Amino acid sequence: MRTKILILLALGVSTMGIAQKDEMKTAERALKDGDAAAAKAALLSASSTIGSAKEKDQAEYYALLGNANYDLAQKGEFSAFQEAVDAYNKVIEIEEADGRSKYTSVAQEKMGQMTADLVNAAVEDNQNKKFSEAAQKLYMSYTLSPKDTVYLYYAANSAVNGQDLENALKYYKELKELDYNGESVTYTAVNVESGETETMDKGTRDLYVKAGTHKDPKEEVSPSKKPEIVKNIALIYQQMGENEKAIEAYADARAENPEDVNLVLGEANLYYAMGDKEKFKELMGQASAMAPDNPDLLYNIGVINMEQGNLEDARDAYKKALAIDPGYINALLNLSTTYVNEGNGLIDEMNQLGTSKADIEKYDDLKDKKDSLFKEGAAVLEDALQSNPDNESILTQLKNIYGALGDNENFMRIKKLLGE
């Protein structure tokens, strides 16, 4: 009786082996006919028993499954890329353990082709502003070819562009852990015949210089991307509202790039949002000291102060920027706006007054102050108009101020200059 059971079991195993081979043959035929979906279905029907098959049959099975999924991925089924990768990696794992390599080289070649396909598709996605899709494809390219860390860097950039902050943060943190710097060397030489500078690989460049066809060999190293990476980690944490992590990240970023004044401004803005105005003022002072003659920095300081309602400090920063660059249009416009905003603040106060004699007197006093501030804002722009008579932004803001003042004569004058 026991003998019969053993025979039956053996027959069962043999039947399963035959079934697996039949399914693999069916899959092979389907792939030759271009029906990857049918090939995949045939293979998946044998998935529950493939673990008991011989290693060489398992390797063949996963190679076919990889091919079927890769074919589906090429036809637009994005999720099949990862399934193909998993299958090909299984091939390599099985043959490595078994000491074989029959399907390994094919699997590696296919994964190389997939990497190229994914990168090309990601470039197209970025061009079509499908940034999140591009980020996924670039990250998968990196997992396929971990030595090409530049794919991870571009995946992070694409994720930021797609406002996928969670994945962008993940990718940037991974770059930081890898100590990625993104530095590259460009090799150039001047073509003696044409006089043009040409870029090429180092070996070719050196050979041409030795042959005398090129001269003046140069090497240019691109700047490290490490400061950008740690800075973006800080900015993402800040954007996600994780303030404590953002502070730690700013510390890392400033240690990596102590001369980046925009990091100081970003950190200052964070502390203001957290309600720490003393730290905000301290950092703004540091920023001013770092680049006292930089009009763009002074302008940015003005913008941050204006956003926080610090109109006097904003006004001071804009005036300093204009002392360096008198034609700085945005600084002129914003300087004018500080006066208008201050005047608008008085309007709110005026609207809250009652009808008593004291309130009426206070109303008149506030109105005079408001009008005076509006006129100061207009005066800034009238001066700017002398050297920028056709600037539409200046003219539009002037028109709005004169309209708010009820100065119909100047209002109509500016409207005419605008061609309205």
* pLDDT tens digits along 30-67: 888 888 898 888 888 878 778 778 888 888 888 888 88
Residue 272 pLDDT exceeds 50: yes
Q: How confident is the model at residue 15 (pLDDT cuts 50, 70, 90)?
A: very low
pLDDT given at position 108 = 87
pLDDT given at position 3 = 44
Domains of the chain by residue range? 19-162, 185-221, 327-420
First to last CA, the chain: 106
| Percent of all residues in the chain with a pLDDT value above 90, rounded to a whole number | 43
Residue 14 pLDDT exceeds 80: no
Q: What would the pLDDT profile of 159-172 be if each residue is shown by its tens digit?
A: 999 999 999 999 99
Q: State the Cα angle at 113 between 109 and 118, rounded to 5°.
A: 145
Fold classified for 19-162? 1.25.40
Cα–Cα dist 411/409, whole Å: 5
| Average of per-residue pLDDT across 367-382 | 93
Q: How confident is the model at residue 19 (pLDDT cuts 50, 70, 90)?
A: low
Burial of 106 (0-12, 13-18, 19+ CB in 10 A): middle
pLDDT given at position 11 = 40
Model confidence, pTM? 0.62
Cα–Cα dist 212/205, whole Å: 11
Question: In terms of pLDDT, which residue wins out, 166 or 223?
Answer: 166
Cα–Cα dist 363/367, whole Å: 6
Cα–Cα dist 265/173, whole Å: 22
| Average of per-residue pLDDT across 129-140 | 93
Cα–Cα dist 47/396, whole Å: 71
Q: What type of residue sits at position 42?
A: A
